[in-house]
Structure 1
Amino acid sequence: MADTDGDGLSDGREVEDTRTDPRATDTDGDGLSDSREVTDTRTAPTEVDTDGDGLQDGREVRVHDTDPTEVDTDGDGLVDGREVTVHDTNPLVADTDDDGLTDAHEVHGTLTDPNAADTDGDGLSDGREVHDTRTDPDDADTDGDGLSDGREVNEYGTNPLVVDTDGDGLADGRELNAFGTDPLAADTDADGVADAREVNAGPAPPWIRVYGAELLAVVGPTVLVVGGWVTRRYWLPRVPERARRTVREDPAVRNLRAAFPADRAAAIRGAVGGVSRRLRSAASAARAAAVDPSDGDARATEADGGRSAEDTAATRPGTAASAGASDPDDDGGSADATAGGVDRVMTPAEEVTAVLEANGGRLKQSEIVDRTGWSKSKVSRTLSRMDEDDRIEKTTIGRGNVISLPDHTPAGARSPFDDE
């Protein structure tokens, strides 16, 4: 019998039975000879893709080992052609990643990755999340409590579908990661108070516990710098001149001076000094009140840096003070004769200034008491007001104060940052 193309089928059979081309070994060009398709694979020798699954018969037989006459060889719900060309899954295995879900279920149902057993990487396979825990296989933390579904199920025994398993008002994640409480017990320490109430009513507000370190890092140095600046008159005189000179000549200090011009530094110094003076004035008035408790009206105004009723009376014509009263506890001044024959009363501040000028611009506070004949309380009040008005400088040396006019301040009381 004649077989022109040598494909194993006689020309007569090809013409009358298989309807193939007796002159072509592979009539449909699918990679399988006509004879093999007819006698072996049982595919159609005139159809390139007998089952219409998107793969040529020859490719199914030679490459993928799938059934060329079956659209879905593994019966997973995906045709062989799409498994190979679109999803990259195994057309011979219904569950390519072995996660408990068929490839078709993952592609069309859960929308998970059919090639990854744990699509969201939470420690639970996709199949277990769908069939067992009922969690979302595409979301590592289904309930959003700060714990992955896998850790809730495998480690802590908490409910991966409930933010607060024990219902104490704290999310499971916060209990474990922030407070160290038991997410399965509403009252971890069994003291009768729920964990959330203890956390919210703790020794410090939650925001301090969370951000306390950051706040301390900022506030701590600021308090040290400001405190050192305000109290410099107490500790700076004790610093040796050589050390102060070293500080002034340090490159970092020079750069700081360049970054902060003199006018800006003066403004800052003035603002800080004003606060400091008001505090010292209030403290001095309080000390004066303790020494001379009968001076009640004066204390009320001097604590705020103002003048007492006696101060006002001292400069008002016709009052006892203006007539030249010499009460050592009276805040009024003494009378000076003017060219017109009218007495002008010197204020206490003017008297102190005159005493200082007559003694080289600098005296101990105790010496001012002796030279004016005033009480200690009156001297203290007068000096506090003058200090607040920048008319004098107080320098603490040992247990006493040295009072100086501004241009007679002891060198040791100057800031190392002041220009020479």
Structure 2
Amino acid sequence: MAGNSDPLTPRAKIAVTAGKAVAAASRAAGRGSGSVIGGRVALKLDPDLLARLAQNLDVVLVSATNGKTTTTRLIAEALRAAGPVVSNALGANMPAGITSALAGSSDARYGVIEVDEKYLAGVARDTDPKCIALLNLSRDQLDRAAETRMLAENWREGLAGSKAVIIANADDPLVVWAASSSPNVVWVAAGQMWKDDAWSCPSCGGVMQRPGDDWFCGECGFRRPTPSWALSGDHVLDPHGSAWPIHLQLPGRANKANAASSAAVAAVFGVPPQVALERMYQVQAVAGRYDVVQFQQRDLRLLLAKNPAGWLETFSLIDPPPTPVILSVNARGADGTDTSWLWDVDYTRLTGHPICVIGDRKLDLAVRLEVANQHFQVCENLDQAVQLCPPGRIEVIANYTAFQDLRRRVGN
């Protein structure tokens, strides 16, 4: 780690001050946290500001299509056992938001940073991370992210020769291929429920063979590496073969997988698995996800699912039928405007649940549910949908901007 001399030039200090002022003005005007606009202004004034802010920190970058916000929170919680942490906990994960987050703390020792998949290579160049966690790659925002192999190639080129320790999911062939260009990789068997983005070999295009939990390419020999960390039921297995219990308040198999990757990251910084996993118990909700809120005499559990992989994991953790389910889908800029991904989601998993459909694209979703032979009602808004459900628990599943709409409506 660099010494604690002040890394900021006079120009950088002006940029930080200006960014904070703009962010504060944005918040005062009721336009959100202001972190993105504040970061943009700061980077305009000093294009090297992100690198300057990172140079006194031990940095962890977390990137993936699914799970990066939660994993960032879990790692930050674990590393607080070793010293003060700065993190972009609210999920502003492009360079402007990251710059804003780092500018907000002067005494941190660790920077735990969630990074949008498309910006990983550039942010890694600027921040010289000690560790990078790569969780998964799956289709998402089809209109702007192109296809997943191009992202994997971007990672592979951007991380080639990186000095960082790469913590990578051995069960995702795209992640393995992307990480294999790095000299120092720690493989984690974190599992992969959604496999439909990795049927062809990312290395040669051949057909992947998938016997059991294993995978390999029958044509070029590209295959699953041997993991040194693994998720096994409710335990994390470390490289010495010890099993450490996972106690989380967050539900579902996917969050246990996130905890396994987070424990492997914490170990890079000398935090033992037992300490790391105990600290992760503190995390109850992540930016509103998994929160249970009271609304119109019902208990609504708010669940975020942005793409087929996320919907599949979410279906696995909802309460059994006849618990009512409200589904909300938008297709605004931040969601991706292409809703064809709805056809990749197996909605037959909702059989037996009464379903209400809301959101900008409720009719797209209604057509999809009709084809899946589901019983549903299309509603104008959340209030109407909730009124149709009996008192008690309701599972509410929404994609990105629909989730933000819901949080505003229920005052979360």
Pairwise TM-score range, normalised by the shorter structure: under 0.3
Superposition TM-score, scaled by structure 2 size: 0.20
Bigger Rg, structure 1 or 2:
1
Pick the structure with more helix per residue.
1
Pick the structure with more strand per residue.
2
